[in-house]
Amino acid sequence: MKLPLPEAAERALSDQLLAHVRQEIASNGPMPFSRYMERCLYAPGLGYYSAGKTKFGEAGDFITAPELGDLFARCVVRTVQPVLEALGPEASFLELGGGSGSFAEAALLALSAAGSLPARYLILEPSADLRERQRDRLSASLPGDTFGRVEWLDGPPAEDWHGVLFANEVIDALPTTRFTMRDGEVYEEHVVLDGEGNLKRSDRPADALVGGAVRHVERDTGREFPDGYRSEILPQLPFWMQAVAGSLTSGVMLFVDYGYVRQEFYLPERSDGTLMAHYRHRAHGDAYILPGLQDLTASVDFTALAEAGNNAGFSLAAYVPQAQFLIASGLQELFESDFVEAADEGTRMKLARQVKRLTLPDEMGERFQAMLFARGFDAVPLPADVLLADQGGRL
């Protein structure tokens, strides 16, 4: 695919990051792909999410559900509002990765209108650049008493807390391990340098953690991976889940992301995995170009996510395709109300386009899934329609 040329300032940042990667490889030897992805996305001041480049919306590289309008956030609020009310006035809302701040803005306005503002709205955002963008947006758009509840965290809450944890398109951005099979053995993808200093792929025998995770998938699916099969796996996911959610003593977690149940993720025909790069609204499969300038993502194995949540002490409350989740959360009612109140035909058309992007199968409706976990309730206070839409049996 022919990609737009980056501007000179962007190219300079990418070259700096590439120099750091080359130096680390020269010093330490072959770099696991997961480490390379972590550097590309999160290296301070240089990584995709750490530098000042616009990421979200029409001016960025991709569009997330909250960027389309406020219907997505308002549906999420309708789902979790009973949880916040059941937990009382000291409940908190924790958003993992705040993006542009669009979700937080719409969610806080909706919670305020419903009289269900949490005691604290926490945003766990590792990127200093995104923090400032979020702070500027929310301080300008929210009433002072509402903005006063927003706090930014450097890490997961250390003290026990109760409330709601929400993550939209977070799991897909966790640095993933790439593996392949050779002579029946598991190999892990690494990054090395060729004779001219260019990045290239090199497969090395996997360690016990990666090999064990791959063998677990084989046992669970009842299929052995053939030689040459390449895909992604997150052996660190259970540890990550415990780190971010271990202190949530009672409440609900909601993850929305694109991906598949395990049997579909590792289909024989998906023999080169799901890794994708996104640059200026173009998706392609070359992770080794434009380091730091393009987003790198892999689809989510929702069976693995369910296992990680269970291992962290949570029960799976519901697993639902995004379209059904939003409909069960009142999307139709919200759309009809906004449509009637719209000031002009252009606004009504924009609303209709938003609903289509969120729900059509070839847009976000089927590619994205919602997974809800709960802990600390005798009866989970989620809307009945959401619980009835559960497809957890597919996992």
Residue 11 falls within a domain, yes or no?
A: no
Give yes or no for a contact between 297 and 278, defined as CB atoms under 8 angstroms apart.
yes
pLDDT < 70 stretches in the chain: 1, 52-62
The answer as to whether 42 is a domain residue is no
Residue 55: predicted pLDDT:
59
Instruction: For residue 197, tell me if it sits in a domain.
Output: no
Q: Which domain holds residue 347?
A: 65-173+246-266+298-390
Pairwise CA distance, residues 283 & 3, whole Å: 10
Tokens 């949490």 -> residue: 118
Q: Domain tally for the chain? A: 1
Q: Is residue 320 part of a domain?
A: yes
- Residue 219's Cβ-side half-sphere holds a number of Cα atoms within 13 Å equal to 6
Residue 343, domain member (yes or no): yes
Rounded Cα–Cα distance for residues 58 and 63 (Å): 7
Instruction: Specify the pLDDT at position 381.
Output: 96
CATH number at residue 343: 3.40.50.12710
Q: How far is CA 350 from the centre of its chain?
A: 25
Give the model's pLDDT for residue 50. Answer: 85
Residues 193-211 pLDDT 10s: 998 989 999 999 999 999 9
Whether 124 and 94 have beta carbons less than 8 Å apart is answered as yes
Check residue 52 and give its pLDDT. Answer: 61
Q: What is the pLDDT of residues 250-269, one digit of tens each?
A: 999 999 999 999 999 999 99
| Cα end-to-end span (Å), the chain | 35
Q: Residue 1 has what pLDDT?
A: 62
- Model pLDDT, residue 7: 87
C-alpha to C-alpha distances, 178 to 36, 78, 134, 199, nearest whole angstrom: 11, 38, 32, 16
DSSP per-residue letters across 317-368: EEEEEHHHHHHHTTHHHHHHHHHHH-SSHHHHHHHHHHHHHHH-IIIIITTE
Written as six digits, the tokens of 158 are 């250390």
Confirm whether 352 is domain-assigned. yes
The pLDDT assigned to 277 comes to: 94
Q: Supply the pLDDT for residue 280.
A: 83
Question: CB-based contacts of 229: which residues, under 8 Å, 6+ apart?
Answer: 180, 181, 268, 271
Q: Does residue 186 lie within any of the structural domains?
A: no
Predicted local confidence at residue 179, as pLDDT: 98
Please report whether residue 286 resides in a domain: no
